[in-house]
Structure 1
Amino acid sequence: MKNHEKERLEVIAKTSLYAHEINGAMIQACFRIFRRYLHDGPTLELGPAEGLMTDLLLDICDDLTVVEGAKEFCDAIEARHPGVRVINALFEEFTPERKFSNIILGHVLEHVEDPVKVLKKAAKWLAPGGRILAAVPNSRSIHRQAAVIMGLLPYEEALNNADRHHGHRRVYNPETLRRDFHLAGLSIEVFGGYWLKPVSNSQIESNWTPEMLDAFMALGERYPDIAAEIYVIAHSGPKKPCFSLHWKLGDKKWTPGCVRTS
């Protein structure tokens, strides 16, 4: 089973589109959000793929370890960043020698066979006060809702061609993402979203300006439940109220939205 999964990841790596055009802007937006919550100390990135998030993390992290199942991706990151500790392994077989202040799962949970199992393992790797930061695509994004109305998708959580190309096994919605964190015994500090996405990637790439894309990335933070991407910041300590943060475009401040308990 492990060999089959590694072979699957190598196939996905050879035709990966995570560094392709608009996806790069999406990863940059994810990083801008995550950096608000990063602690000082050792950081673990799970599933870096081409390493776009890795490149950004190195601007602020002195001690970075990455774990990636595809050797092709590992070789590329090692060649670009010799100071990064790169481990070619499945998350399920990885056993760290120390604890981490930050564990980043950028677009990982939709790929793995058992996301709750991965989250439970990651929780054991956290240093006291450490955080898990995870982002995934949101099935409730308005572009997916429109696709259902147009008959292009049978239902919002159905895998589309892009999902299958990326190797996704599921498409989360806000409730199922929070559910998996709770099932893993983690406490959610913040739930949020980014990128209000009304149309497909190809339509955006053909017609939008960079300024439009930046604006719609920020708008997604005002409307996380229907944003294209959703995220969770969590820890393994006692449960606290979970906040959804909204971007106020007028005065450019992050403000707590409604308190969430699920």
Structure 2
Amino acid sequence: MDYAATYDPELDFDRHYSLATVRRICDYVRPGDRVLELGCATGLMTAQLAAAGARVTVVDRSTAYLERVRARGLDGVEIVQADLQDLPPTGEHEHVVLANVLHELDDPVAVLATAAARLTSGGFVHTTLQNPQSIHRLAALELGLLDDVNEVAERGVQWGTKRLYTADELAALGRAAGLTEVHREGVMLKPLPNAQMAELPDTAVEGLIRVARHFPDHCAMNYLVMRHA
């Protein structure tokens, strides 16, 4: 699904997840590291990776999104237009980033295996996905708004979500692709749906990002770092 015409990741509340996630990824990135960002959209995370001194190769299938990446004029960024499930050779990288994309793929294990094949020795695959055990989904379950926490909501259907994965299931996908988990944490405590979260001031959102460390199993997103098994 190409939803570039109707979805702007820089205006949607999702931008907070992207920026919180890339802060965590940048903790691993050293100046000069090569980063392969798969599903870069408009380059919101790309800009932060480049600012950290990384040499970034970004991949997306959307011409409109990639034009916005190009318009940023970022140094050390190579742009590749391709489908993630038909990725051309891109060389070796210290980091491969798959942020909030695996749930849209027909074969996420194959894409993770491709990511693993692009790693240098000792390199890392960074993945994030929506957490079905997020507090806002648990609240919706108790209120009768969801029949099951793994149910794909209307917004998810609209944006091509095929299914939800728990952190354990995401780690299992990695193992099937020859990767082993080395780190796991939650990204942002989310007590409300996106529409209500978007009404909060940025200071409150930042507080919910920071408090996530106290509730790692029930955050909005799961963040896993993996490397070769």
TM-score (norm 2): 0.93
The answer for the alignment partner of 1:241 in structure 2 is none
The answer for the alignment partner of 2:172 in structure 1 is 179
Once residues 147 and 66 of structure 1 are traced to their aligned partners in structure 2, the CA distance between those partners, rounded to angstroms, is 36
**2:126 alignment partner, SS class:** strand
Greater RCO, 1 or 2 (C-alpha within 8 Å, sep 6+): 2
Displacement after TM superposition at 1:175 (Å): 1.7
> Residue 226 of structure 2 aligns to which amino acid in structure 1?
A
Tell me which moved more, 129-138 or 172-181: 172-181
Once residues 178 and 185 of structure 2 are traced to their aligned partners in structure 1, the CA distance between those partners, rounded to angstroms, is 19
Deviation string for 1:208-260 (max 9, x for gaps)? 232221111112222111111111111114xxxxxxxxxxxxxxxxxxxxxxx
**1:13 alignment partner, SS class:** coil
Tell me which moved more, 45-54 or 74-83: 74-83
Once residues 204 and 104 of structure 1 are traced to their aligned partners in structure 2, the CA distance between those partners, rounded to angstroms, is 26
Displacement after TM superposition at 1:185 (Å): 1.4
The answer for the alignment partner of 2:88 in structure 1 is 95
Does residue 77 of structure 1 match 2:66?
no
Q: Name structure 2 gaps, 5 residues minimum.
A: none
Once residues 167 and 212 of structure 2 are traced to their aligned partners in structure 1, the CA distance between those partners, rounded to angstroms, is 13
What is the CA RMSD across the aligned residues, in angstroms? 1.6
Does residue 55 of structure 1 match 2:47?
yes
Once residues 177 and 79 of structure 1 are traced to their aligned partners in structure 2, the CA distance between those partners, rounded to angstroms, is 34
The answer for the alignment partner of 1:137 in structure 2 is 130
**Are 2:29 and 2:54, in contact at CA under 8 Å, matched by a contact in 1?**
no
Displacement after TM superposition at 1:35 (Å): 1.1
Once residues 194 and 139 of structure 2 are traced to their aligned partners in structure 1, the CA distance between those partners, rounded to angstroms, is 14
Deviation string for 1:15-53 (max 9, x for gaps)? 114222422222111111111122442111000112111
The answer for the alignment partner of 2:181 in structure 1 is 188
The answer for the alignment partner of 2:115 in structure 1 is 122
The structure with the largest alpha-carbon Rg is 1
**Are 2:82 and 2:88, in contact at CA under 8 Å, matched by a contact in 1?**
no
Once residues 54 and 183 of structure 2 are traced to their aligned partners in structure 1, the CA distance between those partners, rounded to angstroms, is 25
**1:224 alignment partner, SS class:** coil
**Are 2:60 and 2:81, in contact at CA under 8 Å, matched by a contact in 1?**
yes
**2:20 alignment partner, SS class:** helix
**2:95 alignment partner, SS class:** strand
The answer for the alignment partner of 1:41 in structure 2 is 33
**2:104 alignment partner, SS class:** coil
- Against the structure 1 CA distance between its residues 168 and 81, is the aligned structure 2 distance closer, same or farther, given a 3 Å change threshold? farther
Once residues 22 and 74 of structure 2 are traced to their aligned partners in structure 1, the CA distance between those partners, rounded to angstroms, is 21
**Are 2:171 and 2:180, in contact at CA under 8 Å, matched by a contact in 1?**
no
The answer for the alignment partner of 1:146 in structure 2 is 139
Q: Name structure 1 gaps, 5 residues minimum.
A: 1-7, 238-262
The answer for the alignment partner of 1:170 in structure 2 is 163
Q: How many residues align?
A: 227
Deviation string for 1:50-80 (max 9, x for gaps)? 2111121110134110010112211221232
